[in-house]
Amino acid sequence: MNRPLPVLIILCTVFFSALAGSFAWAANNEVTRTLDVDLGNVDALVIDGGVGTIDIVPVAGTTLRIEVAIEGNRTGLLQHKRDVTDIELAQHLDNGELKIELTEDDFDDLEVHWTIEMPAVATTSLNLAVGQLIARVGATELDVNVGVGQASVTAARIDTGHIVASAGVGSATVHGANRSDSQRAFVSENVDGYGEGEFNIEVNVGVGEASVFLVDET
């Protein structure tokens, strides 16, 4: 039996509306944020990554370049992917300290990947609650804190002074130092080491793995 024309029109309208909605939802669950900042007048750099991964490479000059890829995972009863269009990169400069973070406190159902080209400033602080941080850095006083996950830092031996790598639960290692000393407890490990320079490095991981590698050049 042929369906009446109005019924077919209604069914087609519902179908194409649902299809358009699915495309809009797909477009809203992935964004990439970028930021270029001149660090010429910055003495201290703080990056709060939240959760996810952070990859850092050193660059010459004074321009910091950041790209953050953000993707929402499926959530809720309908298993729709989370809308991430409102998440932005924010920067705050106060007395020579520049802090960069995402405009989001709830990182549930998110995948976040930071790619950073980082020139050297006097001091640098890198923070990640959960995830993996892999950084090659220039001549900077460096403080790294990861709550749960992995932190791996590579720096030039000639620039690096005192090194501290620690894991509350897990392992800590220092490679390539002139001398190093490891103290292992039941579940924690702390390693001290020294390079040939004056810029200290401290890497702290609550649960996971902390590693520092000293090389001839980065």
Least confident of 23-27, 178-182, 193-197: 23-27
Q: pTM (2 decimals)?
A: 0.83
- At 185 the three-state DSSP class reads coil
Average pLDDT (106-121) is 90
Least confident of 112-126, 138-152, 169-183: 169-183
175 Cβ neighbours under 8 A, 6+ residues apart: 211, 212, 213, 214
Average pLDDT (166-179) is 94
Residue with tokens 């000393």: 181
51-58 vs 110-118, strand pairing mode: parallel
**pLDDT tens figures, 1-48:** 455 545 445 444 444 444 444 443 445 888 899 999 999 999 999 999
C-alpha 170/C-alpha 80 separation (Å) is 36
- DSSP readout, 73-139? PEETTTTEEPP-TT--EEEEEETTEEEEEES-S--TTEEEEEEEEE---SEEEEEEEEEEEEEE--S
Instruction: Please name which of 172, 64, 69 lies closest in space to residue 121, comparing C-alpha atoms.
Output: 64
